[in-house]
């Protein structure tokens, strides 16, 4: 498939758009505190410039989303959703080499918050559809573009709002493409991998409440709420969750084992078998290790108001993640670990996701990567965290993580998500535009 319509202008635009969007401070502080309007208007203007009709939608002032549809050549074909979020997590300028909202381009690299997560992907989408318009190219399927607010918090002002209040904008969409997959992962022996995401663990953020008997700090107290909470949190944090291989993770382990000349996990693989295989995969184990189990990490403790007063209650929060099909086990285990003196509830919960890795769509995504990086290998991948794909799944849309980036050895892509000195190479953006174009037109 030719990509001659991805011209010099498209390559220049993806860099310019990434830099421009970074300079727009769309920090999401959580709890409804965020402003995406400037970035949304910027995106809408560039879509309108090439004849598209973007719609701006808000659940609250300045929490702006943009949706537009590119009409395909086959009206009978199901539509495809291409979505990315406009908000970013906070950044402390004093910690950065380059100001996080400068969008500076230095030595072939674009710097700033959102360079990886995920204004780079927003820029790719804009550059591709604008190139199509200039060349008179249309995809086979309708492509619905969604640029969302609030992904970095609860998505209540973004994809959650869109799917609940405006589902008609996504009519006909059966599959979606978004963030966190298709980046170069350099494994042992010069092996270049591109993990294409076909699953996400579910979100189970928990609130724990311990109750006890309030009293003087100098007195014996066998019903100390702080002690009860601390004990429960310790049990949760130290719990060894058993291995549970989902189809996506099993496929990932099988392919990674093959590429390393190893035997993959058998149908009755034990915890020891899987853990043993991970130790043999070297750096590539990082791609699957977080997703072979559920997890539960304590993150916040709140209790007391005076040092010599034992409070009557104490509260804690745990970041829990659940594999597809493992929620019942997660619930039962938390009941056991918290014990009789600590209650727990979901503070925020989102479903786990799983998309087929034997589908024509997955094969097309892999082929597009390997076409532009011969000798590399695309592999299945399950994300340990979550994306807006969770909300769009409520409309029956299966999600794949696919933000193509060709990265040099030593470039720690995963560490830059929410990290300091977030940045993306210009060459990686050029690669991404070409791959995304090829994939979208082939789908």
- What is the distance between the alpha carbons of residues 334 and 42, in angstroms, rounded to a whole number? 45
Which residues in 149-164 are b (16+ Cβ under 10 Å) and which e? bbbbbbbbbbbbbbbe
* Cα–Cα distance, 332 to 199 (Å, whole number): 23
Alpha carbon distance 281, 187 (integer Å):
9
Distance CA 41, CA 44 (A): 5
* H/E run at residue 299: strand 295-303
Q: Are strands 173-178 and 398-401 parallel, antiparallel or unpaired?
A: parallel
Distance CA 320, CA 398 (A): 23
| Cα–Cα separations (whole angstroms), residue 432 to 12, 78, 438 | 13, 24, 10
Nearest by Cα to 13 from 407, 400, 408, 437: 437
Would you say 81 and 141 are in contact if contact means Cβ atoms under 8 Å apart? Answer: no
* Identified catalytic residue from 87, 179, 388, 437: 87
168 is catalytic: no
C-alpha 324: how far from chain center = 16
Phi-psi region of 367 (alpha: psi -120 to 50; beta: other; left: phi over 0): alpha
Classify residue 151 by its DSSP letter. Answer: T
- Please report, for residues 130, 176, 178, 180, 397, the alpha-carbon distance to residue 393 in angstroms, rounded to integers and kept in the order given: 27, 9, 13, 17, 5
State the catalytic residue, choosing from 13, 122, 150, 151.
151
Does the annotation mark 171 as catalytic? no
Report DSSP letters for 257-289, one per residue.
HHHTT-----TT--HHHHHHHHHHSGGGGGGTG
Compute the distance between CA of residue 436 and CA of residue 411 in angstroms, rounded to an integer: 21
Cis peptide before 118 (omega within 30 of 0): yes
- The answer to whether the beta carbons of residues 309 and 216 sit under 8 Å apart is yes
Residues that are catalytic: 87, 151
């Amino acid at each position: 498939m030719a990509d001659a319509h991805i011209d010099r202008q498209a390559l220049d635009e993806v860099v310019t758009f990434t830099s421009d969007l970074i300079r727009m401070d769309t920090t999401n502080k959580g709890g409804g505190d965020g402003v995406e309007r400037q970035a949304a208007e910027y995106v809408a203007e560039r879509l309108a410039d090439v004849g598209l009709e973007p719609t701006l939608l808000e659940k609250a002032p300045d929490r702006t989303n943009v949706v537009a549809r590119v009409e395909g050549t086959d009206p009978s074909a199901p539509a495809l959703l291409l979505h990315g979020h406009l908000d970013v997590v906070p950044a402390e300028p004093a910690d950065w080499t380059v100001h996080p909202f400068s969008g500076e381009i230095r030595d072939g690299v674009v710097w700033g918050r959102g360079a990886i997560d995920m204004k780079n992907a927003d820029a790719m989408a804009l550059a591709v559809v604008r190139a199509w318009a200039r060349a008179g190219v249309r995809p086979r399927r309708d492509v619905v573009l969604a640029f969302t607010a609030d992904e970095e918090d609860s998505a209540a002002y973004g994809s959650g709002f869109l799917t609940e209040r405006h589902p008609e904008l996504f009519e006909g969409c059966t599959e979606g493409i978004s963030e966190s997959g298709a980046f170069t992962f350099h494994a042992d022996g010069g092996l270049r991998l591109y993990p294409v995401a076909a699953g996400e663990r579910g979100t189970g953020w928990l609130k724990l409440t311990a109750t006890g008997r309030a009293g003087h700090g100098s007195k014996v107290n066998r019903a100390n709420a702080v002690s009860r909470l601390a004990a429960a949190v310790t049990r949760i944090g130290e719990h060894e969750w058993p291995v549970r291989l989902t189809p996506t993770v099993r496929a990932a382990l099988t392919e990674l084992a093959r590429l390393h000349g190893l035997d993959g996990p058998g149908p009755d693989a034990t915890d020891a078998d899987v853990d043993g295989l991970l130790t043999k995969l070297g750096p590539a184990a990082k791609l699957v290790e977080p997703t072979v189990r559920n997890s539960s990490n304590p993150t916040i403790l709140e209790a007391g108001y005076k040092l010599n007063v034992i409070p009557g209650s104490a509260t804690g929060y745990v970041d829990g993640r659940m594999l597809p099909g493992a929620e019942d086990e997660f619930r039962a285990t938390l009941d056991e670990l918290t014990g009789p003196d600590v209650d727990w509830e979901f503070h925020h919960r989102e479903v786990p996701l799983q998309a087929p890795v034997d589908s024509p769509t997955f094969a097309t995504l892999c082929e597009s990567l390997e076409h532009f990086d011969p000798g590399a290998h695309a592999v299945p991948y399950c994300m340990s965290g979550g994306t807006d794909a969770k909300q769009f799944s409520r409309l029956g849309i299966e999600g794949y993580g696919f933000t193509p980036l060709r990265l040099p050895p030593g470039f720690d892509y995963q560490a830059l998500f929410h990290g300091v000195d977030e940045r993306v190479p210009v060459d990686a953006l050029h690669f991404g535009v070409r791959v995304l174009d090829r994939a979208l037109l082939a789908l």
